[in-house]
Amino acid sequence: MTSPDPRTNAPVVATITAAGAARTRWQVLVIGAGPAGAAAALRLAAAGARVLLIDRGGMPRWKVCGCCLSVAAVDELRLLGCGTGDDSRLPFDALPLDSVSVAHGGRSAVLPLPGGGVVSRDILDAGLVRAAIAAGCHWLPQAHVASIDEGEAGAQEVAATLSVRTPASAAMTSHRIAADRIVLATGLADHVRIAVSDRTIVAPASEDGRHVAAENRIGLGATLPADAAELPFGQLVMAVGREGYCGIVRLEDGRLDVAAAVSRESLGRNADPARVVAAIVAEAVGRSSLPMPTTATLTAAAFRATPPLTRSAPLVSGATGRILRCGDAAGYVEPFTGEGIGWALASGRLVAEALRDDEPAAGAPLRSPAAAAARYRESHRRRFAAVHARCRRVALALRRPGVVMAAVQAARVAPWAARRLMPAVIGAGPTGGRR
C-alpha cells in the first residue's frame, strides 16, 4: 500500500456528498476516522471492499492525546504503508521519542524509550484518512451519526442515520446510509443508539454491557506555544501526583502537547481543569530542574476534557452480528503507558481481517456476519486481554503514592534494573508486550 505525502495541514476534502453516499449500497460503513476507523477503512478498501469512512468532524482535527507513538504503533503504521517516502523509520512527520522522565514528589528518574515516536494528532489522523482515500475508500466529514437501525431479524443490511450541515444554509439534513456491515470506531464518545426490530439499545453502560471502572479518570489536554518551556525534542516528562498524572512533550512543529488523566473528584472540587493539571505538575516536579511550563502558563491554558477513560463495550453489538466496535469504542484503560494509538491501529487491522481476507477474489463478499464476529472476538481477545490487564495493573499502581515513589527511587539508584523492567510496565516490541 502506498500513501500520499501527508505533510500538510490542508483540509482533507470529502470525496462524496451525503446524498451521493445515501444512494450507494456500501459493503462497510466505518463511523469515526481516528486511527482505529481509518486503519480499518484503509485495509478494507485496499482489499477491494466498497467502504465509506465518515466522521462528525473534519480532518485535520485536534484531539486530547499525549501524541506519543509506541513501538507497536510505529509497527502498525509501517504495516499500513504510512511513511514519508524517505527511508525514515517513523511515519509522517513523527520525531523519535528518546526518553521519559518520570517525576513524583519532587524526585525524577530518566528512562530510555527506544523505538517510539511523537506526532501531533492533526498530522497523524489526517495522514491516515488521506492514505485510506488513496486506497480507494470514500470519505465524508462533518457527518454525525446518532443512530443505527439493524432492521428486522434476517435483514441483509444495517443502516445509519447521519446528520450533515448544509454549507449554504447551515441547516441540518438527515440521510440514511445502508451497508452490509458497520464498524463503530467512535472513540470514548461512543453514544450511537442501536435500534433492533423490537427494542432500542441506548448507549449507556447498564444497557449495553459497558463497564465503567470505579475511580475512573478523565482525560484533559491542551497545546502550549513553543516557548512555554525549554523541554527538548524527544523527551517526554510524566508528572505523577495524587490526583492523576500529566505528560508533556514537544511536537514536530515545536508546540508543547500537554495530556493528563485526572480523578473526577479533583475536577469536582476545583472546576477549572487547568488548575488541576497545574497542581499535579507542581506537586510532582517540585523544585527539581525539569524543564516544565510554569504554573502560571499551565493555569492560563485552555484544556479540553474527555469522557471517563476506562471502559469496555461489546465487540459485536445488536442481534445480527453486523455491527462491530474497534479502537477506544471497544475498550480503553488509561494513557500512562502510551499505547492507545497502537491498540486502535491494531484493532482496526483485526476488524478488517475478520471481515475480509487480505487478497480476496475481485468482488468477493465479506465473511458471513457470524463467522466475522467469531473471528474478531477471538483475535481481539488474543491481542488485547493480557496487555489491557497489564495496563490496568499499572493504572492501579499509579494511585498508590508509596509505590510510585519507590519505583522512581529504584530507577534512580538502579537504572539498569528499571530499564529491564520497562516492558512489564509499558509493554515492548511490535505487539506491545502481548504474550
Q: Does 189 bind ligand FAD (CB under 6 A)?
A: yes
193-196 vs 143-151, strand pairing mode? parallel
Binding residue (CB under 6 A) for ligand FAD from 251, 328, 391, 404: 328
Query: What minimum distance in Å lies between the beta carbon of 330 and ligand FAD?
Result: 8
- Which x/- pattern, by CB under 6 A, does the window 73-92 give for ligand FAD? x-------------------
Q: Does 313 bind ligand FAD (CB under 6 A)?
A: no
Near ligand FAD by CB under 6 A, which window of 51-59, 88-96, 104-112, 390-398?
51-59
Q: Does 141 bind ligand FAD (CB under 6 A)?
A: no
Near ligand FAD by CB under 6 A, which window of 106-114, 203-211, 264-272, 339-347?
339-347
Query: What minimum distance in Å lies between the beta carbon of 333 and ligand FAD?
Result: 9
Binding residue (CB under 6 A) for ligand FAD from 48, 327, 331, 427: 327
Q: Does 128 bind ligand FAD (CB under 6 A)?
A: no
Residue closer to ligand FAD by CB (options 49, 194) is: 194
Q: Does 105 bind ligand FAD (CB under 6 A)?
A: no
344: cell is 486502535
Q: Does 187 bind ligand FAD (CB under 6 A)?
A: yes
Residue list 31-50, contact with ligand FAD (CB under 6 A):
31-37
Residue list 107-126, contact with ligand FAD (CB under 6 A):
none
Query: What minimum distance in Å lies between the beta carbon of 364 and ligand FAD?
Result: 27
Residue closer to ligand FAD by CB (options 48, 245) is: 245
Binding residue (CB under 6 A) for ligand FAD from 123, 132, 185, 222: 185
Binding residue (CB under 6 A) for ligand FAD from 30, 344, 350, 395: 344
Residue 172 CA: distances (Å) to CA of 52, 141, 360: 20, 14, 39
Q: Does 350 bind ligand FAD (CB under 6 A)?
A: no
Q: Does 194 bind ligand FAD (CB under 6 A)?
A: no
Q: Does 261 bind ligand FAD (CB under 6 A)?
A: yes
Q: Does 186 bind ligand FAD (CB under 6 A)?
A: yes
Residues in contact with ligand FAD by CB under 6 A are 31-37, 54-57, 63-68, 70, 73, 144-145, 185-187, 189, 192, 219, 221, 259-261, 306, 309, 327-329, 332, 335, 338-342, 344
